[in-house]
């Protein structure tokens, strides 16, 4: 539930133009919509959630959008020269921190409602989460390693082309390397997802505890920042390898691709500025 909620919060960032602004302006609705798969709330709880998410969206618009606007502006300046792996790692950290702050704004009203849930509601939520995880695992295992790699490559290729335009053969090979790297770590990621669910079960059982809110918030931060006590060394190595591939991809950009990327970032930055002004 936490991971999917976080994903919905940031899905609009992957969009552009009117779609971005439309999704952001109704983000409270979409979070509520997707949460309905996991939270079976009574009318009072539902009203509290809707009001809380509406307030959270207003708060996020006032406090967090400017952070992303500033980060994108800084990135555009640095992109005038090829980025180093260290710069890419730094931007990863800065955007992750901004993402954590954004996620916590929207998670707060969800926490408030979860505190009021009955044991039977919590059990139903956990069962819904486990069911989806099982379905996703079965879907993944039903595909051959080759098909999983092709699917992941296609997703990454589509995203890359949205940001930089048509890819060269060299760039397609880099995208393939990134897809292979991610799939090589799929077992670790699935184990971490299972561990996250186990921790969520424990946290939800303690929702009347004074530390409940901080425990959920820490779980959100761990998911976003790739933190896991057991697999941290492996996760750090994965990120390091990813940054190297991203550096190579950045170095391979043609002047035309750089203009395309800058235009996309400018469009996104202007959309954010418009949203900030419409408080």
> 120: buried, middle or exposed (CB in 10 Å: 19+, 13-18, 0-12)?
exposed
The model's confidence at residue 1, banded by pLDDT at 50, 70 and 90, is: low
- Helix or strand or coil: residue 167? coil
Question: Which percentage of the chain shows pLDDT scores above 70?
Answer: 92
Q: Output the DSSP codes for 50-111.
A: HHHHHHHHHHHHHHTHHHHHHHHHHHHHHTTSPPPHHHHHHHHHHHHHHHHHHHHHHHHHHH
Q: Whole-angstrom Cα distance, residue 28 to residue 57?
A: 6
User: In this structure, what DSSP letter does residue 168 have?
Assistant: P
Mean pLDDT of 119-128: 90
pLDDT for 251: 96
DSSP-derived secondary structure letter, 39: -
First vs last Cα of the chain: how many Å apart? 29
- The Cα 54–Cα 38 span in angstroms is 19
- The mean pLDDT of the chain is 89
User: Which pTM does this prediction carry?
Assistant: 0.87
Give the pair of three-digit tokens for residue 43: 């009318």
Q: What percent of the chain has pLDDT over 90?
A: 61
The model's pLDDT over 10-41, given as tens digits with 9 standing for 90+, comes to 544 444 445 677 788 888 888 888 888 888 89
Q: Is 143 helix (H, G, I), strand (E, B) or coil?
A: coil
Query: Would the pLDDT of 72 be above 90?
Result: yes
Residues 6+ apart with CB under 8 A from 32: 49, 50, 53
Do 5 and 96 meet the contact criterion of CB atoms below 8 Å apart? no
Q: How confident is the model at residue 180 (pLDDT cuts 50, 70, 90)?
A: very high
Q: Which of 194, 185, 168 is nearest to 256 (CA)?
A: 168
pLDDT in tens, 196-255: 888 888 888 888 888 999 999 988 888 888 888 899 999 999 999 999 999 999 999 999
Q: Give, in degrees to the nearest 5, the angle at Cα 104 between 103 and 110.
A: 100
- Residue written as token pair 């969800």: 110
Q: What is the pLDDT of residue 188?
A: 92
């Amino acid at each position: 539930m936490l991971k999917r909620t976080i994903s919905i919060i940031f899905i609009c960032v992957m969009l552009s133009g009117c779609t971005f602004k439309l999704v952001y302006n109704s983000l409270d609705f979409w979070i509520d919509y997707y949460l309905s798969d996991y939270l079976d709330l009574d009318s009072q709880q539902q009203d509290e959630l809707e009001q809380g998410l509406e307030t959270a969206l207003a708060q996020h618009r006032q406090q967090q959008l400017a952070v992303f606007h500033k980060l994108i502006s800084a990135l555009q300046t640095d992109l005038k020269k090829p980025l180093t792996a260290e710069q890419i790692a730094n931007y990863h950290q800065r955007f992750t921190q901004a993402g954590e702050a954004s996620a916590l704004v929207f998670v707060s009203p969800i926490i408030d409602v979860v505190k009021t849930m009955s044991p039977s509601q919590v059990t139903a939520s956990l069962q819904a989460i486990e069911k989806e995880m099982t379905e996703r695992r079965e879907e993944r295992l039903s595909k051959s390693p080759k098909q999983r790699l092709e699917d992941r490559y296609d997703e990454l290729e589509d995203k890359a082309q949205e940001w930089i335009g048509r890819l060269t053969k060299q760039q397609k090979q880099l995208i393939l390397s990134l897809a292979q790297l991610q799939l090589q770590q799929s077992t670790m990621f699935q184990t971490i997802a299972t561990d996250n669910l186990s921790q969520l079960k424990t946290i939800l059982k303690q929702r009347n505890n004074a530390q409940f809110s901080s425990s959920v918030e820490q779980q959100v931060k761990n998911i976003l920042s790739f933190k896991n006590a057991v697999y941290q060394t492996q996760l750090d190595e994965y990120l390091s390898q990813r940054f190297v591939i991203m550096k190579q991809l950045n170095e391979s950009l043609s002047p035309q691709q750089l203009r395309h990327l800058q235009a996309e970032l400018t469009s996104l930055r202007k959309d954010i500025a418009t949203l900030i002004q419409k408080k």
